[in-house]
Structure 1
Amino acid sequence: MPPPAPPVSPLPAPLPAPVLPADATTTGLAFHRLVYARRRSGWWTPLAVGALGIAFYAVLMVIALVVIFIAASADPSLLDRLMTLATNPTIDAGDPVILAFLLGTIVLMLPCYQLASLIVNGKRVGLISSAAGRLRWRWLLQCGLVALVLYAVSALVSLLIPGEAAAAAAPHPLWLVSLVLILLLVPLQSAAEEYIFRGYLMQTIGRWLRHPAFAILLPVPLFVLGHMYDILGQLGVGLFAVAAGWLTWRTGGLEAAIALHVVNNLSGFLLSLAAGTDPTASETGLVSFVFSLVLIVGYTGVVEAILRRRAAQGRPLPRTLVLTPPVAASAPAAPAASAFR
C-alpha cells in the first residue's frame, strides 16, 4: 500500500493592490495630489513628514546657534545685534552676519523638508518639485526672465512718478560681502519658502482634499502671518500667495512661483542694500501696493499666455501625472507612472 501523500500547503493569498484615487489613473494627479505617486501615501504621511522635518530643523538650528556663540567670542557686539532683533525685527542688509543668519535659517528648511519627505514617502522625491519628478530648470529660467522684465519695466515706470527724494545712504564698509550673500542666499531662501508653503502644504492638503481650491487657499493665512506688514502689505502678501498657489497648480510645479518669489525678493534686498533701508519694512504705501498688484496679475497673465501658446503649438507643459493601475502582488509595490499630461 503506497504511503499517503504529504499535505500540500495552501499558497498565500496575494496582498491587495494599493488603492489609488480615480484621478490618478484617469485625468492624472495634479501637483497637490502627487503624494499618491510616492511609495508611501497614507493619510498619516504628511503629518510624519512635518514632524520629522521640524525635528531635523531643530537640530540644525541648535548647531547654528552654537556657531553664532562661537563667533560672538570674536565679536561681542554680535549677541547684542541678535538680541535687538527680538524687540525690533528689522534687517540691516549691510550687516553680513545678521543677513546670513536670518536668510540661512530659512534656507535650512529646504533640506529638512526634502530629507523628511525621502524618509517617509520613499523615493521619487522630485515629485515635491513638479509632476515631471524634477525641477524643470528651463521652465524656471523662462519664468524668471518674464518676472525680471516685468520688474525692470516697473522700476522704470516708478522713476517717472514724482515722489519724495530718498536720502543718500553712506555705503556700508562690508556692502560687497552683503551683495554676494544676497545673490547667493535670497534665491535659496525664496525657493525654501515656496517648497514649504506651496510644496509641502499644498501636497499635504491635497492628500486629504481633492479640489485644488483647498490646497491653494488654505495655506494663504499661514504665509501672510509669516510676514509682519501693515494692512496693505498683508493684502499684497495674500495676493502673492494666491497667485503662487494657482500658478503651482496650473503649471504642475513650483517653478513659476519660485521665479516670481526670487525676482521679487532679490529686487527688494538689492534696493534696500543700495538705499540703506530695511527690506522687510512693515509699512507699505498705496503706490507700492498698486505696483505689486499690477506685477503679480501681469506675471500670472503672461505665464498663462505662454502655457496656452505652448498648447496651441502642440508642446504643452506636462502638469499632471497619470499612474498605471496597480495589480495584486505578493509584496506591496509603488504605483508606476505611465504618462504626463
Structure 2
Amino acid sequence: MPRPIDSDRLAFHRLVFARRRSGWWTPLAVGAVGIVLFLLMVLGAALVALLIALSSEEAARALNRVLNDGGVLDISDPLSLLIGLGAIALLLPAYLLASLIVNGRRVGFASAVFGRLRWRWLLVCAGLAVAMAIVVAIATALLPAEQSGESLTPPVGATLWLSLLVVILVVPVQAAAEEYIFRGYLMQSIGRWLRHPLFAILLPVPLFVIGHLYDPVGQAAVALFATAAGWLTWRTGGLEAAIAVHIVNNLLAFVTGIVAGTDPSAADVGWVSFATSVLLLGGYCLAVEYVLRRRPIARTYGLPRTQLPPPIPMPTPTATVPLPGEPTPELTKP
C-alpha cells in the first residue's frame, strides 16, 4: 500500500487510502470496471423486458410506447418511470461492485468514514430535509404563481397509484445512486490525487450540471445543489446528508408532478423555483450544521498504526578512529 498523507486522520474525500488497494490508478480502474458492469446490468434488464414483452401482447405495446418516446420520462406512464429511474438506479450496484473488485474489501468506506452507511444519521438528516421542505412549501405558497414547463394530464385510477408506487420505491435508490457517483466516486477519486477538499467538492459540479438538461437558471440551481451536497459530504464525513436531501427533493418533485400534472424534468426553470431551491438548501445546510454542533459525529477516519508511514530513523552515533598522537576516546555506558 502506498503511503497516505502526512496525517493519520482521513476526511471523506481521502478514504481511498483506507482501502486495501489505493494506487493512483485505482480510481480509473473503478470507473472502467463500473461502466462495464453498468452496461451488463442494463443489457440484462433489457433482456428481461424483452422476454416479458414476448410473453404478453399488452406488455409489448407498453414497451413499444415507451421506446417510441425516445427516452423522454413520462410521469403519467409507470413503465416509463420504472425504466428511466431504474436505469439510473443501476449505477449504485455497478459502482459498489466495481469498488469492491478494484479497491478490495471495506467497501463501506465508499459511504462514510464509519466504514458503513450511518442509518441513524441518515434518518436525522431526512427529518431535517422534510422539515425544510414543509417550510419551503409554505413560503412558495406566498410567492407569485409560476408557470414553468408543459402542463400534462395527471394520471388517474390505477395508473396514478402505480406511478406513485414506482416513484416511492425507485426514487430513493435513484437519488442515492447519483450521490454515490458524484459525491462518492468522484470526490474520492479526486481526493486520491488532490489533497485539499475544495478540489473534491467543486470539480465534480460541472459533470453533475451536464447530466441535467435545464435552462441557465435551472443549471444554476443544479450547480448550487451539487456544491451544497459536496460540502455536506465533506463536512459530515459521509453521504448520508446529501442522500437525504436528494431523496426528499426528488420525491417532492415527482409526487407533485404526478398529482398536479407538471413535468419535473422540464428544461425551463423559473426564478421562483430557483429561489425555493436556495431556501431549501440554505436552510438545510444550516440545520445540519446546528445538529453537528449540538451532537458531534465522526467526520474523519483514523488509520490503524500499521497503515501509517514508518517513522524516520534517527542517526546513530558511530565510532571515530583517533588520529596519530591523539588519545583514544572512552566509550561511556548509557
Indicate the TM-score class for this superposition, using the shorter chain for normalisation. Answer: 0.7 to 0.9
Structure 1 residues 126 and 64, CA, compared in 2 at 3 Å: closer, same or farther? same
1:167 CA drift (Å): 8.8
Aligned to 1:243: 228
How is 1:74-113 mapped onto 2 (pairs within 5 angstroms)?
Answer: 74=57, 75-86=59-70, 90-113=72-95
Q: Runs of 4+ in structure 1 displaced over 6 angstroms? A: 164-168
Q: Which runs of 5+ in 2 are unaligned?
A: 309-334
Percent same amino acid among aligned pairs? Answer: 54
Q: In the alignment, is residue 147 of structure 1 matched against residue 129 of structure 2?
A: yes
Query: How far apart in 2 are the matches of 1:308 and 1:164?
Result: 37
Superimposed CA distance per residue, residues 276-328 of structure 1 (whole angstroms, 9 cap, x where no aligned partner): 23221111111111111111111111111111122xxxxx2101011133379
- Contact 1:92–1:276 (CA<8 Å) still a contact in 2? no
Q: In the alignment, is residue 114 of structure 1 matched against residue 96 of structure 2?
A: yes
Aligned to 2:324: none
Aligned to 2:271: 286
Counterpart among 20, 37, 62 of residue 39 in structure 1: 20
Paired residues, number: 302
Aligned to 1:11: none
Structure 1 residues 327 and 175, CA, compared in 2 at 3 Å: closer, same or farther? closer
How is 1:150-229 mapped onto 2 (pairs within 5 angstroms)?
Answer: 150-163=132-145, 169=154, 171=156, 173-229=158-214
Counterpart among 76, 91, 112 of residue 130 in structure 1: 112
Q: In the alignment, is residue 64 of structure 1 matched against residue 45 of structure 2?
A: yes
Segment drifting more, 317-326 vs 236-245: 317-326
Query: How far apart in 1 are the matches of 2:84 and 2:135?
Result: 30
Query: How far apart in 2 are the matches of 1:85 and 1:205?
Result: 37
- Contact 1:90–1:281 (CA<8 Å) still a contact in 2? no
Query: How far apart in 2 are the matches of 1:85 and 1:109?
Result: 23
Q: Give the TM-score taking structure 1 as reference length.
A: 0.84
1:77 CA drift (Å): 3.2
Letter in 1 for 2:6: A
Query: How far apart in 1 are the matches of 2:155 and 2:91?
Result: 34
Query: How far apart in 1 are the matches of 2:270 and 2:264?
Result: 14
Aligned to 1:326: 306
Query: How far apart in 1 are the matches of 2:282 and 2:142?
Result: 21
Aligned to 2:243: 258
Q: Which has the higher contact order (CA 8 A, sep 6+)?
A: 1
Structure 1 residues 164 and 283, CA, compared in 2 at 3 Å: closer, same or farther? closer
Structure 1 residues 104 and 164, CA, compared in 2 at 3 Å: closer, same or farther? closer
- Contact 2:155–2:258 (CA<8 Å) still a contact in 1? no
1:326 is paired with a residue whose SS is: helix
2:306 is paired with a residue whose SS is: coil
Superimposed CA distance per residue, residues 151-192 of structure 1 (whole angstroms, 9 cap, x where no aligned partner): 112112222334269898462541111111111110110000
- Contact 1:90–1:280 (CA<8 Å) still a contact in 2? no
Aligned to 2:311: none
Letter in 1 for 2:5: P
Letter in 2 for 1:255: E
**Over the residues paired in the alignment, what is the CA RMSD in angstroms?**
2.0
Query: How far apart in 1 are the matches of 2:127 and 2:24?
Result: 38
Superimposed CA distance per residue, residues 114-168 of structure 1 (whole angstroms, 9 cap, x where no aligned partner): 1111111111110000000010111111111111011112112222334269898
1:72 CA drift (Å): 3.5
2:10 is paired with a residue whose SS is: coil
Query: How far apart in 1 are the matches of 2:69 and 2:218?
Result: 20
- Contact 2:133–2:280 (CA<8 Å) still a contact in 1? yes
Superimposed CA distance per residue, residues 238-294 of structure 1 (whole angstroms, 9 cap, x where no aligned partner): 000000000000000000000000000000000011012322111111111111111
- Contact 1:49–1:116 (CA<8 Å) still a contact in 2? yes
Query: How far apart in 1 are the matches of 2:146 and 2:249?
Result: 23
Structure 1 residues 179 and 79, CA, compared in 2 at 3 Å: closer, same or farther? closer
Larger Rg: 2
Superimposed CA distance per residue, residues 89-124 of structure 1 (whole angstroms, 9 cap, x where no aligned partner): 532222111111111101111111111111111111
Q: Give the TM-score taking structure 2 as reference length.
A: 0.85
Q: Which runs of 5+ in 1 are unaligned?
A: 1-16, 311-315, 329-341
Counterpart among 300, 309, 333 of residue 285 in structure 2: 300
- Contact 2:11–2:113 (CA<8 Å) still a contact in 1? yes
Structure 1 residues 164 and 118, CA, compared in 2 at 3 Å: closer, same or farther? closer
